[in-house]
Amino acid sequence: MTPTRLPAWQALAAHHATAQSFRLKDLFRQDPQRFARFSLSLDDLLLDASKHLVSAETMSLLTALAEQARLPAQIEAMFRGDKINATEGRAALHTALRGDTGARVDGEPVAPRVQGVLRKMRALAEGVRDGGIAGQTGRRFTHVVNIGIGGSDLGPLMACEALRPYADGRLTCRFVSNVDGAHLATALEGLDPETTLILAASKTFTTQETLANARSARQWLTASLGEAAVARHFVALSANYAEAARFGIPAERVLEFWDWVGGRYSLWSAIGCSVALYIGMDRFEEMLAGARSMDQHFRTAPPERNLPVVLGLLGIWNTNFLGAESRAVLPYDQRLARFPAYLQQLEMESNGKRVARDGTPLDYATSPVVWGEPGTNGQHAFFQLLHQGTQLIPADFIAAARSPYALDGHHELLLSNFFAQSEALMLGKDEAQVRAELQAQGLGEAAIAALLPHKVFPGNRPSTSILFRELNPRTLGLLIALYEHKVFVEGAIWNINSFDQWGVELGKALAGKILPELSGPQPATGHDASTNGLINHYKRLR
């Protein structure tokens, strides 16, 4: 299935000629009910798509595209447990981690295995938090260090920061991902080995960066407490019991997850152990429940009222028809500071592909570059580009109506910017408005002529606004699952495999060849001239 050959795609290409004349100001003026028509909600989460460069006809054609691309059937295949990750021969069943009891892999139900791990997680989290599970010397754990990389780091780190108000102070979590020794050394700084629990998060328990950090953390621990402490102070989040045992971690301290859980979708699995330790297992299960609610909505809601489907279709429109090559994610909530980075992996590792499912090269764009920072910081950094740059960059604005931090006037000031920035991107400021402002300041015609082009804002920049009552575990689950399924929608229409990530392998393989060359005295000669030169210059500097 080549999407560009579908009738709806070709109709959208023809429709684009009309859409090029769309002005958001005019669309709102022509339809006073536009906000109501283009807004969707689930629970208390509202998604406002009215500030996109689309009409009712655009959305109708996009919905037809989804139908012609067999999106409903592809959604069912994922939930059913079909091996939709064809290049690795795996299912993609992260939804089963959230309570989909009907999912099966190779004919076997997965729910009993999922529930077994959740029970094991609960026993560990409650034992550590209550002091029943203690360290080698009998002292309670006060700190958790999560060692992982990619999804084994970005997911739990993002969730712990987002849900900080729900932590009760019993445990402090630190995260280590980078093999740069500075990351581990900084994370362990000031910690007492007697009261530190270390989570080694790697599905295979062979991930190079994670194992290097875990071994160094092991040395730090055993230097103080001896080898016997490893079994009490380490937990493995892994499918590889044998490698964990060789490391010194017994089976009862291994929390399993499976090859049908992709790393960037693994927060819902044992990888979320740090979150359960930090905020308690009950709160972690509230996050699962929020995601499960979005799963059910995604599976059953009609396409035109389906939040992930609409968000994904807008992504297709912006990328493939309006030519947007990047998208900004702008959470107006400091607790979501790591959410843009989380979505970077989710979207670009999933959909940053150049071939279709059958291996044929693509002649159309796939994933845009995803980036962003919290508002209002971004307003003083890159919003200049959003407002007056030469590129069309759609933006996602995300905010909570309530804040747990009762600092007088702060949240209202934050939200005034949240509302104003999407409005400013839409409206812009034309020459007549700028001229009137400059004349009101008393400037002469020469000064006005010089300043006027610099103060014009083109406007007509598309954005999505997502607003919910408060950022709690359930809402975070809803929000993450919304974007997970949005990525699936885009990948399904682009006819790519959103669940493999072969692009990360080549650099790792070459690093493995280079590593032994860095310690020997002989100059490097087996690479291109640039790489040889860099390695040899490193040796001289060392």
Classify residue 117 as left (phi > 0), alpha (psi -120 to 50) or beta: alpha
Give the number of other CB atoms < 10 A from CB of residue 47. 21
411 is catalytic: no
The position carrying tokens 């795996």 is 90
Classify residue 70 as left (phi > 0), alpha (psi -120 to 50) or beta: left
> Is the CB of residue 174 less than 8 Å from the CB of residue 189?
no
d(CA 447, CA 480): 50
Amino acid at 318: N
The position carrying tokens 């009712």 is 56
Closest CA to 366 of 312, 328, 329: 312
Q: In this structure, what token pair is assigned to residue 124?
A: 């560990």
Q: How many residues does the chain have?
A: 542
Selected catalytic residue, list 67, 76, 325, 508: 508
d(CA 125, CA 173): 13
Specify the DSSP element, H or E, that contains 370: strand 369-371
> What's the per-residue H, E or C state across 64-98?
HHHHHCCHHHHHHHHHHCCCCECCCCECCCHHHHH
Phi then psi for residue 491, to 5 deg, are -65, -40
Q: In this structure, what token pair is assigned to residue 365?
A: 């764009």
Selected catalytic residue, list 380, 410, 513, 537: 380
d(CA 159, CA 215): 26
508 is catalytic: yes
CA–centroid distance for 517 within its chain: 36
Selected catalytic residue, list 194, 286, 347, 349: 349
349 is catalytic: yes
User: Which residues are catalytically annotated?
Assistant: 349, 380, 508
